[in-house]
Structure 1
Amino acid sequence: MRHFKLAALAAAAALACGSALACTTVVVGSGATADGSILIARAADSSALKAQHLVIHPATKGVKGMYRTADHHGANNFEYPLPENGMRYTTVPNWKTQVHGATGFNEAGVGFSGTESIFARDDALKIDPYNEATGITEDDIPEVLLPRAKTAREGVELLGHIVETIGAGEGFGVVLMDEKEVWYFETGTGHQWLAQKTPKDKYFASGNQGRLQKYDPKSPDFLASKTLVEWATKNGFYDPKKDGEFNFSKAYTRDDARDRDYNDPRVWQVQKILTPSLNQKVTDGRSFPVWATPDSKVTVEDLKTILRNHYESGELASHDPYTNGLKGDAEPYRPISVFRTYESHVMQVRPWLPKAIGEVTYLAMGMADLSVYVPIYSGMSAYPKHWGEGTDKADSSSLYWKFRKLQTLVMTDYPKLAPIVTKAYADFEKDLAKRQAAFEAEYVKTVKADPKKAQADLDHFSIQAMADAEALTEDLLNQVFTVRTEDIQKVNFFANRSKKD
């Protein structure tokens, strides 16, 4: 058995890592899911060389001082006071900085997923630009919010206050959830923002664009910067008489040809999968509904399917960049699943279960289509050491690179090799789901009588699931290498004429 360690890692690395170049996000209200849970799905896309680590940040007491992005070699010089008493929380950060944590839960049950890189309209940014020098960025948000926020709403309010007073260092959309509600937060310009609570019977999808539209300052379902409408009106981006109801996206968000092929097709695809009855053209762009009703109740498996989608079937099948040979440079529509995805996740909150297992993140390292989703419970006390290792150079020990090596090899002949991997992972996930259900049922019984044994059982199940996923990946790598070796031998055999040697 491998050595394990609490992933309370000191941030140490060199060189800054840039913001994610693209992401896709789906948020589903509890009334729209099959079991009444709250669901979030997101793919984090930037570079295949961006190894991700699993980290557990322990609770802190009596702390003084400042959190400084520069101390982690992060994006800029943002700083914010450290909480005197910080809560325990988990993140999945990149190897360089140990910040930019992508996804995580804190001990109060607040979940965070972010961020979705989005873009404000250029003319608005000229008046209120991003504070690129000291504003809050993707690197900092989980490190600031998760040690503090006891509810999702509290997290939204804190992030909004920081954007208003210090500024956003870039455009972003983030998700905050707890056992009661889930919020989506979007920046407008450098100091303007809007957040909306997800309607229980709806879902939301975004692909690198500001999508929120309605704002009702009298409703508890909305939170926003204090001058959101006033600023847009003053600077000519909103005319109440001419435009009618205020539209946040129209007033603040970029909407041009860049969105038509890079962003809109992903939102269209998500809505076509979850609401097949919805008839709309992929070129309709901003007219896509912000909040849509699924035709059938949404499951964790549905969201995995979405994160793995590359237009392999349906109306956009001609835009699949993999199945008929790699054509990423020639394909105008960007798919959801891309090779440079460094991690993707489905987060689930089930309030009827103990927090330790009721908050679970299904995590896949690397390209979602060629990876496997492993349940990571928020109550795990430690992670395998090599799940917190890896850099931008391939190695023989880190978990990240075991997945990435397989994915890289498969992409050399996707049509032939991908089915081997996707079938094996699908069978594994189906079997693991049965094991998971049995474990959870037993955990609920055990935790009441013997919390220590329940914790031991939780760690054992989780570590075994992670080890099984890793073992399968190593086996698949060997299978695929065997196939590729045979393929290459066939075209480079150089036999003599008698074929005897």
Structure 2
Amino acid sequence: MPCTTLLVGRRASADGSPLVARTEDSSAGSFDPKRAVVVRPEDQPRTYTSVLGGRTIELPENPLRYTAIPNALPDEGIWGCAGINAANVAMSATETITSNPRVLGADPLVERRGGQPGGFGEEDLVTLVLPYIRSAREGVERLGALLAEHGTYEMNGIAFSDAEDIWWLETVGGHHWIARRVPEDHYVTMPNQLGIDSFDLADAEGPGRNHLASPDLRAFLREHHLDLTLREDGQSADVFNPREAFGSHSEHDHVYNSPRAWYMQRTLSPHAEDWDAGAPGTSPDSDDLAWSRRPERLLTVEDVKDVLSSHYQGTVFDPYSPRGTDAERRAFRPIGINRHNALAILQIRPELPESHRAVQWIAYASLPFTTPIPMFTNVEEAPAYLGTTEATVSTDSFYWVSRMIAALADAHYSEVILAIERYQQRTLALGHAAVHAADQEAAGTDDPSAVPGLLAAANTAVAEKIREATDALLGEVLFTASNHMTNRFSRSDG
């Protein structure tokens, strides 16, 4: 599934929260309606069968409650997207990533053949992992064990977060994997490309402070000659570049993947490099852009939303700008694309009590034109505006209204973008105000059992306020689009 991920370590964020964010994008020519849900322990299956992979697994007892953003139409499986569980552990799954023939020859992806089950994939992973973990590291370990036993039919990157750490796991072939802890003062940019660019095998085999991996990874590298590192005499054989060993450097990457990482880093670290000089390591088609960087200031939820909505603003590659040529404006795949299904920004705030420290910001459809709604996750049910999505288009659904606004606005970008920017600023302000007010109310209650109820009320209240603003924007954009229809005519035209 085409996606874009941005991870922000807790010492790189404005409020000390680790931030995990990802757009879930559909394949070209298709759109997958999404809805927000809360999966209670009694609703979690005890026997699970993958729709695409056909593999069946028995799940542990005593699952935790968790949030998710599944497909509204379950014909291809659940596709849980992202969520936070009752232990305040977050998971985003998955970022589809690349590989190379050497890896896929050494450890082939698991295919479904002749009635035999395949492995697990993106449709399954949130359901199989998130309800059973109590830390980000536990998430890596559980998913790693599932990959070793059952395998996967695709290459994926998966993020786990708790109040302290973010871990990023990348699959390597059908059964192998690596994972690295995100540096606390860095952000990580991930397009659809294997991303980790440095890995310490000794740490992974030993204390695992910052690196974890399949137990046989060193032997796997050696047997199949996957490590491509040129080492000087005496240089450690423990550290290698996974992007060179397991990833790709295709022309497709240079058009579809690396330009997104380039623009995110250009935006978040604008003075770190001369981003527009075309130099190796800093150009849109570079194969060795850094996996993680230190930002030049602390990052906010708005920064994350803006970067994941971007379309190369300020460059000749912006499809909405008159600056470049037609070829330049269509040269690269934007981050903010028409095929967004959903955005999840997972925020675990370590300075607050566990009862209300977790917030999941949710947006739908093409992000340059839409806004996120905050949802506290220690609740029993998602607000109706976020969770009511049917196959039939309806203005009662935040998903469908967001999709309508984006489709209407795209053709009239210059006429409506100011209205959309005002709407985004207003609704983000409403979201922050609602979160702050609910924090204060939760902190002031003497009855901990009352907190989920007041958080649910806060979720519904802010969703309804943003619904009013969204309906007003839809009316404004519709009016503008109607006045620019091809068949317009008035008597004064003559």
Aligned to 1:14: none
1:347 CA drift (Å):
1.2
Counterpart AA for 2:421:
T
Secondary structure of 1:383's match?
A: coil
Aligned to 2:316: 318
Structure 1 runs not aligned, ≥5 long: 1-19
Task: Give 1:127-276 correspondences, 5 Å limit.
Answer: 127-133=106-112, 134-219=118-203, 220=208, 221-238=210-227, 245-276=239-270
- Confirm or deny that 1:50 pairs with 2:32: yes
Aligned to 1:440: 439
1:386 CA drift (Å):
5.0
Distance 1:217 1:308 in 2: 36
CA contact (8 A) 2:18 2:166 kept: yes
Aligned to 2:47: 66
Deviations 1:320-351 (CA, angstroms, capped at 9, x unpaired)? 11344997996121111001101112111112
1:166 CA drift (Å):
1.7
Distance 2:391 2:321 in 1: 28
CA contact (8 A) 1:356 1:380 kept: no
CA contact (8 A) 1:348 1:359 kept: yes
Mean Cα deviation higher: 369-378 or 39-48: 39-48
Aligned to 1:31: 11
Aligned to 1:340: 339
- Confirm or deny that 1:352 pairs with 2:351: yes
- Confirm or deny that 1:376 pairs with 2:370: no
Q: How many residues align?
A: 467
- Confirm or deny that 1:493 pairs with 2:483: no
Structure 2 runs not aligned, ≥5 long: 113-117, 276-281
Cα pair distance change 1:148/1:455, threshold 3 Å: closer
Cα pair distance change 1:445/1:53, threshold 3 Å: same
Distance 1:496 1:84 in 2: 73
Deviations 1:346-387 (CA, angstroms, capped at 9, x unpaired)? 111112212342111111111111111111111133223453
Counterpart AA for 1:439:
A
Task: Give 1:84-103 correspondences, 5 Å limit.
Answer: 84-97=61-74, 99-103=78-82
Counterpart AA for 1:114:
A
Distance 2:390 2:455 in 1: 29
CA contact (8 A) 2:318 2:329 kept: no
Deviations 1:402-437 (CA, angstroms, capped at 9, x unpaired)? 111111111121221222122222122124323432
Deviations 1:178-222 (CA, angstroms, capped at 9, x unpaired)? 122110000111122100111111111110001113222332211
Distance 2:45 2:257 in 1: 43
Alignment partner of 1:466 out of 460, 463, 468: 463
CA contact (8 A) 1:33 1:297 kept: yes
Aligned to 1:121: 100
Cα pair distance change 1:474/1:165, threshold 3 Å: same
Secondary structure of 1:282's match?
A: coil
Secondary structure of 2:3's match?
A: strand
How much is the aligned-residue C-alpha RMSD, in angstroms?
2.5
Distance 2:63 2:94 in 1: 22
Distance 1:271 1:290 in 2: 10
Counterpart AA for 1:285:
S
CA contact (8 A) 2:89 2:160 kept: yes
Distance 1:54 1:91 in 2: 6
CA contact (8 A) 2:35 2:72 kept: yes
Mean Cα deviation higher: 407-416 or 323-332: 323-332
Counterpart AA for 2:133:
A
Cα pair distance change 1:100/1:79, threshold 3 Å: same
CA contact (8 A) 1:349 1:359 kept: yes
